Chains A and B, each alone.
Chain A
Amino acid sequence: MQKLILLGDEALAQGAIDAGMSGIYAYPGTPSTEITEYVQNSKQAKELNIRSKWSANEKTAMEASLGMSYAGKRAMVCMKHVGLNVAADPFMNSAITGANGGLVVVSADDPSMHSSQNEQDSRFFGKFAMIPVLEPSNQQEAYDMGHYGFELSEKFHIPVLIRLTTRLSHSRANVVRKPVRKQNPYKIADNPRQYVLLPALSRKRYKVLLKEQIDFEKEAETSPFNWYSEGENKKLGIITSGIAYNYLMEVFPENSCPYPILKISQYPLPVNMIKKIEEECDELLFLEEGAPLIEEMVKGVLSKGLNIRGRLDGTIPRDGELNPNIVAKALNREYEIKYDLPDIIAGRPPQLCDGCPHTDTYLALNEAIEGLSRDRVFSDIGCYTLGALPPLEAINSCVDMGASINMAKGAADAGLFPSIAVIGDSTFTHSGMTGLLDAVNENSTITVFILDNATTAMTGGQKSSALGRIEQICIGLGVDKNHIRVITPLKNQHEKNVAVIKEEIYYKGVSVIIPRRECVQTLKKRMKAKKK
């Protein structure tokens, strides 16, 4: 078959296309965005009529994928790790309903927080929901799991979680394709009642899920992605998962590792394989990208009181992603590092682009609240979060998608006035609308800035669900028309904008200011495309 060079994200997407997927649902989020973008740009996917438009948020995406699976077709839903928090309700319950057409949930974790607010490990969610979890160690496995994930899902009528991490998502390598499978025909679940999670029915479904745990474990014991490799030196046994396996192979090139290795890429844990390495070895070392999930679980499985080394005893740092040097150090095989980091190097944090509309909005906002403390501005997740850094230092919070509006409301309830929220257009339709409704219902004294740059900018300019709808939404939610103000964030409008902001922040009710100007990056792209 054809040889390709693909990012881990792209390999998984190509695998899913070739496995007969009928639809992919997602909200963009680093490092998961490229999975869906790959499908959107794939000629093959277009010819096969695979559904791939962006969803408003991860929860709507998860629910839509469940619906496609209900109707018999294979569906994938993709998100970043914190997106799975947003989708947690349908995700957890989809383990109870089960799947009809293959249903694969992809969550891309970001250990070391390259582009995220935490480094939560999605494997816990898989264990929490008690469904099979796949964790590819390289791009080829990511591709293969695109196929295998759907097979596994259809074999047991259960959603399957695939967990990626940043370094695999955003690293390219050669991938070999498999033959293409046909999509499933439309066919409603044989027993649609399984989707009715009334308590009496849920209890039955839950017992089914509990019973299936043994099957899932058996599947992991015989999985082509889990293996035990013998080693002569039994003083140490190494249990490793996902991309950590590659670092181990790097430290011992050409399969020269003298110790037994258990490589895990499919969960629930293959307990018999773990017992085997316990029998054979004097000590165990755990190499996992992310949290010490296997390490903690295995401690509960073992009976011989072996010494366990890993993230919990400090052999491996408790936080942050792995790399070959950390793994080499744990195995007493450190690389020689000749050069130190020169002390003249200065930090170069990310910043808003030259000409960014957010800069003009923040400059106007800062001036409008001059004399008041700035700790009254709550913000959200997107490029505009960079407004927290110097020189603007305009905002004070960034917690989760949509939090700005509700935090501003809560603080206003406690007595803060003026209380201000700053949220992007796409984040607003993702999770801001319900908060605005709460504020309207209580006539909270808050001002909400909806920064409308007409795109989802931070993740690379995906189409925003809010495009052309913001005023209608605000009016529909009950915001007074006279207090929905659109401004143009440009230097030559500065005085006017400051005046509008001053008027609205002292209004005793809910007001919305919409600074509207296209993102300079998407504008540039659009102009380039026009020229061609």
Chain B
Amino acid sequence: MKKDIVLAGVGGQGILSIAAIIGIAAVNSNLYLKQAEVHGMSQRGGDVQSNLRLSDKEIASDLIPFGKADIILSVEPMEALRYLPMLAPDGWLITNTNPFNNIPDYPDMDKLLNKIKSLPYNVAINADQIAKDAGSVRTMNIVMLGAASPFLNIDYNILENTIKDFFAKKGDKIIEMNLKALKAGRDFVDNK
């Protein structure tokens, strides 16, 4: 088993929390893990990504080779496409469709969505809306984690338990909300 995942988004959108939850869940599943992330300057509203690699064998490189990513998991549609050359020919692109528009030349939304939907393996989901319906738009990243969960080769139960641990300090209400968000993302993909 080997899963190479590119996590993408804009600084502050919560991709490092997704990375941390998948990472802990992977270790709880006795997998090897490498996860490269971006700190520093680009965290200030710029594009950010994290290379997350899971395997039952030891992992060599901290970076995923271009052309080898099994999954691009993005919390923002343009950021999903920024890493397209990293995607393997049979890889999945899973993205939130809600744009984060903090630049003057943000591309045309229809063109973006058409490009995303033209890919042979894609999941496009309005995670902000689903998160709102589940209780809070702040769980958008967890909705995306739920949408990616069928592709991760990690038991759904283990993901749930990891979320319980991850948000333990924040209280039961926050845990419930995030579990609901996870389930909503998962259901969206299962019912597709």
Q: Which residues of A lie under 8 Å from residue B102 when comparing CB positions? A: 348, 351
Q: Which residues of B lie under 8 Å from residue A349 when comparing CB positions? A: 46
Q: Which residues of B lie under 8 Å from residue A247 when comparing CB positions? A: 60-61, 63
Q: Which residues of A lie under 8 Å from residue B47 when comparing CB positions? A: 348
Q: Summarize A's interface: helix, strand, loop or mixed.
A: loop
Bound CA–CA A5/B32 (angstroms) = 10
Cβ–Cβ contact B24 & A5, under 8 A? yes
Q: What is the 8 Å Cβ interface bit string for chain A, positions 179-207, against chain B (1 contact, 0 not)?
A: 00000000000000000000000000000
Q: What is the CB-to-nearest-CB distance from B97 to chain A, in angstroms, rounded to a whole number?
A: 15
Q: What is the 8 Å Cβ interface bit string for chain B, positions 73-107, against chain A (1 contact, 0 not)?
A: 00000110110110111000000000000110111
B residues 17-45 in Cβ contact with A at 8 Å? 23-24, 27, 32-45
Q: What is the CB-to-nearest-CB distance from A380 to chain B, in angstroms, rounded to a whole number?
A: 14
Query: How many interface residues does chain A have, given as a range?
Result: 35 or more
Which of A38-46, A309-317, A338-346 faces chain B?
A: A338-346
Q: With contacts A246-B61, A250-B61, A353-B45 known, is A337 near B66, CB below 8 A?
A: yes
Q: With contacts A167-B62, A345-B107 known, is A172 near B34, CB below 8 A?
A: yes
Cβ–Cβ contact A5 & B23, under 8 A? yes
Q: Which residues of B lie under 8 Å from residue A460 when comparing CB positions? A: 39
B10 CB-CB contact with A under 8 Å:
yes
Q: Which residues of A lie under 8 Å from residue B65 when comparing CB positions? A: 250, 323-325, 328, 335
Cβ–Cβ contact A344 & B62, under 8 A? no
Most buried by A among B10, B59, B66, B119: B66
Q: Which residues of B lie under 8 Å from residue A341 when comparing CB positions? A: 81-82, 84-85
Q: With contacts A250-B61, A325-B65 known, is A459 near B40, CB below 8 A?
A: yes
Q: What is the CB-to-nearest-CB distance from A212 to chain B, in angstroms, rounded to a whole number?
A: 34
A-B contact count (CB 8 A): 151
Q: With contacts A246-B61, A348-B103, A350-B11 known, is A170 near B27, CB below 8 A?
A: no
Q: Which residues of A lie under 8 Å from residue B24 when comparing CB positions? A: 5
* Interface residue count on the B side (C-beta < 8 Å): 52
* Contact residue among B33, B37, B40, B103 (Cβ-Cβ distance under 8 Å from A5): B33
Q: With contacts A174-B33, A324-B65, A351-B102 known, is A114 near B44, CB below 8 A?
A: no
Q: With contacts A325-B65, A346-B78 known, is A34 near B39, CB below 8 A?
A: yes
B68 CB-CB contact with A under 8 Å:
yes
Bound CA–CA A353/B11 (angstroms) = 10
B111 CB-CB contact with A under 8 Å:
yes
Most buried by A among B27, B45, B89: B45
Cβ–Cβ contact B36 & A344, under 8 A? no
B112 CB-CB contact with A under 8 Å:
yes
Bound CA–CA A529/B60 (angstroms) = 39
* Contact residue among A170, A345, A353, A383 (Cβ-Cβ distance under 8 Å from B39): A170
Q: Which residues of A lie under 8 Å from residue B36 when comparing CB positions? A: 167, 170-172
Q: Which residues of A lie under 8 Å from residue B85 when comparing CB positions? A: 337, 339-341
Q: What is the CB-to-nearest-CB distance from A368 to chain B, in angstroms, rounded to a whole number?
A: 25
Cβ–Cβ contact A174 & B27, under 8 A? yes
Q: With contacts A170-B36, A346-B103, A347-B103 known, is A243 near B62, CB below 8 A?
A: yes
Q: Which residues of B lie under 8 Å from residue A5 when comparing CB positions? A: 23-24, 27, 33
* Contact residue among B40, B44, B59 (Cβ-Cβ distance under 8 Å from A31): B40
Q: Which residues of B lie under 8 Å from residue A34 when comparing CB positions? A: 39
Most buried by A among B32, B57, B103: B103
Cβ–Cβ contact A351 & B46, under 8 A? yes
A253 CB-CB contact with B under 8 Å:
yes
Bound CA–CA A173/B37 (angstroms) = 12
Chain A residue with Cβ nearest B100: A348
Q: What is the CB-to-nearest-CB distance from A340 to chain B, in angstroms, rounded to a whole number?
A: 6
* Contact residue among B46, B67, B103 (Cβ-Cβ distance under 8 Å from A338): B67
Q: What is the CB-to-nearest-CB distance from B4 to chain A, in angstroms, rounded to a whole number?
A: 11
Q: With contacts A170-B37, A351-B44 known, is A336 near B67, CB below 8 A?
A: yes
Cβ–Cβ contact A338 & B89, under 8 A? yes
Bound CA–CA A347/B78 (angstroms) = 10
Cβ–Cβ contact A344 & B10, under 8 A? no
Q: Which residues of B lie under 8 Å from residue A250 when comparing CB positions? A: 60-61, 65
Most buried by A among B43, B59, B60: B60
Cβ–Cβ contact A335 & B37, under 8 A? no
Cβ–Cβ contact B60 & A249, under 8 A? yes
Cβ–Cβ contact B37 & A171, under 8 A? yes
B108 CB-CB contact with A under 8 Å:
yes
B residues 134-176 in Cβ contact with A at 8 Å? none
Q: Which residues of A lie under 8 Å from residue B79 when comparing CB positions? A: 348
A96 CB-CB contact with B under 8 Å:
no
Chain A residue with Cβ nearest B90: A338
Q: With contacts A5-B24, A348-B102, A348-B103 known, is A324 near B63, CB below 8 A?
A: yes
Cβ–Cβ contact B44 & A336, under 8 A? no
Q: With contacts A167-B62, A250-B65, A324-B65 known, is A350 near B46, CB below 8 A?
A: yes
Q: Which residues of B lie under 8 Å from residue A170 when comparing CB positions? A: 36-39
Chain B residue with Cβ nearest A351: B45
Bound CA–CA A328/B64 (angstroms) = 12
Q: Give me 26 A-to-B residue pairs in the complex whose CB atoms sit less than 8 angstroms apart, sorted by A's number.
A: A3-B27, A5-B24, A30-B39, A30-B40, A115-B39, A115-B40, A167-B36, A168-B62, A171-B37, A171-B62, A172-B23, A173-B62, A246-B61, A323-B61, A323-B63, A324-B63, A325-B65, A335-B67, A339-B85, A339-B119, A344-B81, A348-B78, A350-B11, A350-B43, A351-B45, A353-B45
Residues of B bordering A, CB below 8 Å? 10-11, 23-24, 27, 32-47, 51, 57, 59-68, 78-79, 81-82, 84-85, 87-89, 102-103, 105-108, 111-112, 115, 119
Residues of A bordering B, CB below 8 Å? 3, 5, 30-31, 33-34, 114-115, 167-168, 170-174, 243, 246-250, 253-254, 323-325, 328, 335-342, 344-353, 383, 386, 458-460
**Closest CB pairs A-B (n = 3):** A115-B40, A30-B40, A249-B60
Q: Given contact pairs A324-B61, A324-B63, A350-B44, enumerate 15 new A-B contacts (beta carbons under 8 Å).
A: A167-B36, A168-B62, A170-B38, A171-B34, A173-B33, A173-B59, A250-B60, A323-B66, A324-B64, A325-B65, A341-B81, A346-B103, A350-B45, A383-B44, A386-B44
